[in-house]
Amino acid sequence: MERPLRILVLYNEKQLLINPEFDLIKSFAQYSKHEIWYLTIYREMPEALDLTAFDVVILSYSVLLNQTNSAMTGELSTLFSQALQAYQGYKIAFIQNEHENTNNLRANILKLGIDTVYTHVPEAYISQVFPPKQFPQTRFMALTTGFVPLSQPLFDQLIKPLHERRWVIGYRSIIPPFWHGQLAREKVLIGERMQRECSKRGIAANINWKLSYGNSWYRYLAKCKATLATEVGVNVFDVDGSIRQHVTSLIQQTSDLSYDTLYENFLHQHDNKIQMNQISPKVYEAASLKTALILFEGEHSGVVEPNKHYIPLKKDFSNLNDVFNKLADNNYLQQITEQAYEDIIQTDKYHYKHFIARLDAKLSEVVATRSSVAATQSTMRYLNVNMFKNKSNFIPLLSLPTDKPLRIEQLSAYQSWGLEPAFINAQYNQLETLTLSFLGKQIQVALPRRIFLALRALRRKIVGL
């Protein structure tokens, strides 16, 4: 029987803002058959760490390879970068925002020697964004922007009948910068127009431009009969940052410059050369909560079908009356929400578990072709013992990715996302049974998992394991 691979997942705790990014990191420990470790890049790389202790290193979305500032923005420090360049094991990167500083992204993929890249660039455009001649040793895999959330037990508690929901339409979005182009601008168009229509028609709506995170977002969405969404992505590729600089300069010169004027005079020539249109993660979230979907017409990555899983809204809003008539019919809404729940949520295809199983199989195949990685004794002592000290950056197999049992300031940060402390520390508060020998008798003692693991690590240190 082959041993489980030892996999290190790098992440930046300051960049874990939206639920799909958070869920992806959790899913490695939740579903992988391999041994998963997490390390934050927000603090400096521990000197005692030797990456050769790991068979695979994964860079999560929160490690931003297209940035050039600091760890605060998700960039790898010099020590982390040097260690990854020297590391001969298998390297995987999950990337996003490929439209932004694309040249930096390309350079870092090459510099770090990434073996496999999971990208949001659709298959048809991968060779245009990442030319094969430039990346002969790197495999690029197209990946959608999300999967079914991992919070289904919570969703089961939150789901209410449609007639009991407070809001008819709910919507949360940011206002994207002008230089992101027309596809990103659709988030504003759908929200502003539907807000005006709901106000005019006297329909209870909660639409604003402040995002909610964590469980607070799910609780809000569960109070809505329906929500809005567009395809997501940015089709303006600013490979060197010059488009952003030019647009910013134009705005500074003309304070009342409108998006439409800017787009017509400049931005349109850079838009839609690459089609990044993807399904919005909100589709999976709404389907999980049996909240009806009103979507701008589009392909939505082939996951949902109009009038079967969602109410289609034309981008010129010419079918608004039809949309509001369907919205007033609870029987119709229940029909499409139940269909979406059955076809998306109750099948394995769109779940993290399915993706991780495929990733595990691929890793077992490709890593087996390389020389085995042996953990040095000093590194394994560091992993098994020092991870419980305040200076450590590690914690293995947790339901939430953190560098150690949460400090109070970290706990406060997670609480601001709407996550409960009990959920955060659930795995560390689970009881473990410790068997002790005392006066020739076997005594079993139930201890919290954090204490059990600490005692086990101490024993290993004492006996020199």
Residue 304 has pLDDT above 50, yes or no: yes
Q: Kindly state the DSSP code that residue 371 receives in the 8-state scheme.
A: P
- For residue range 451-463, list pLDDT tens digits in order: 655 665 555 455 4
Calculate the CA 423 to chain-centre distance.
19
Residue 409 predicted with pLDDT over 90: no
Q: Are residues 357 and 299 in the same domain?
A: no
Mean pLDDT of the chain: 82
Start-to-end CA distance of the chain, whole Å, equals 23
Task: Work out the percent of the chain whose per-residue pLDDT is above 70.
Answer: 76
E strand or H helix at 59: strand 56-59
CATH at 355: 3.40.50
* Containing structural domain, residue 103: 6-146+351-427
pLDDT of residue 158: 95
- Asked if residue 277 and residue 135 are part of one domain, the reply reads no
- Is residue 1 domain-resident? no
Residues 142, 253 within the same domain: no
Confidence of residue 438 (pLDDT cuts 50, 70, 90): low
Distance CA 343, CA 347 (A): 6
Cα–Cα distance for residue pair 314/158, rounded to 1 Å: 31
- The whole-angstrom separation of Cα 385 and Cα 55 is 20
Position 443 confidence tier, pLDDT thresholds 50, 70, 90: low
Q: How far apart are CA 99 and CA 236, in angstroms?
A: 6
Residue 204 in any domain: the answer is yes
pLDDT exceeds cutoff 50 at 390: no
Instruction: Identify which of 348, 345, 352, 369 has the alpha carbon closest to the alpha carbon of residue 291.
Output: 345
pLDDT value of position 324: 98
Banded pLDDT at 138 (limits 50, 70, 90): very high
For 154-158, 235-239, 280-284, 329-333, which range has the lowest pLDDT when averaged over its residues?
154-158
Query: Which one-letter DSSP state was computed for residue 171?
Result: E
User: What is the tally of structural domains in the chain?
Assistant: 3
Residue 405 has pLDDT above 50, yes or no: no
Look at residue 29 and tell me whether its pLDDT is greater than 70.
Answer: yes
**288-301: pLDDT as tens digits:** 999 999 999 999 99
- Same domain? For 103 and 245 the reply is no
Q: Is 440 found in the same domain as 420?
A: no
Tell me the pLDDT tens digit for each residue of 344-383. 999 999 999 999 999 999 998 888 755 445 555 545 544 5
Average pLDDT over residues 399-417: 35
211 shares its domain with 94: no
> Is 101 in contact with 67 (CB distance < 8 Å)?
yes
- pLDDT for residue 222 is more than 90: yes
74, 109 Cβ separation under 8 angstroms: no
- Are 358 and 322 part of one and the same domain? no
Shared domain for 184 and 257, answered yes or no, is: yes
* More confident call, 446 vs 46: 46
At residue 164, what are phi and psi to the nearest 5 degrees? -95, 0
